[in-house]
Structure 1
Amino acid sequence: MVGLTLLLARWRHGNPNNLKSRELDKRFAQGPRKFSYSVLRAATKNFSNDQMLGKGGFGQVYRGTLSPSKETVAVKRILQGSKQVQKEYISEVSIISKLKHRNLVQLHRWCHEKGCLLLVYEFQPNGSLDKYLFGEKNRSDLNWDLRYSIACDIASALLYLHEEWDQRVVQRDIKANNVMLDGKFTGKLGHFGLARVVERERAILDTTVLAGTFGYLAPECVVTRKASLESDVFSFGAVCLEIAYGRRAVDRSLDDHNWKLVEWVWDLHGKGKILEATDAKLDGNFNGEEMERVLLVGLLCSHPYPKARLSIRQVIDILKMKDPLPPLPSSYPELVYTTSHGPVFSLSSTFDGKFCTTENVWNIESV
Structure 2
Amino acid sequence: MHPSLKFGAPPGSIVEISETGYINTELFIKWLKHFIDYVKPSVEKKVLLVLDGHTTHSKNFEALQLARLNGVLLLQLPGHTTHRLQPLDVAIFKPFQTYYDEALSKWLQTHEPPVTQFQVSALLSEAYSRAATVSNALSGFKATGIWPVDRNVFSDADFVPTNIHLPANYLNELEETLVTLPSDNEQECQEEEFAIVPEKNAATRSLNAEPSKSIRVIIHDISPLPRPTAKQRKRWIKGAQKSRDFDFEYPLYQRGNPQLRVFLPNFWMKLVEPVHQQPNNIVQFIVSTEMTRYDIKNYLEKIYNVSVVEVKTRIVSGKTKTGQGRGFIIKEDDHKLAYVTLPREQSFKFPDLFPEEEKILDDNKSMDEAKQGFTKFLDRTKSRPGLPGWFSY
- TM-score band (shorter)? under 0.3
The structure where helix makes up a greater share of residues is 1
Larger radius of gyration: 2
The structure where strand makes up a greater share of residues is 1
TM-score (norm 2): 0.20
Which is bigger in relative contact order (C-alpha 8 A, separation at least 6)? 1
TM-score (norm 1): 0.22
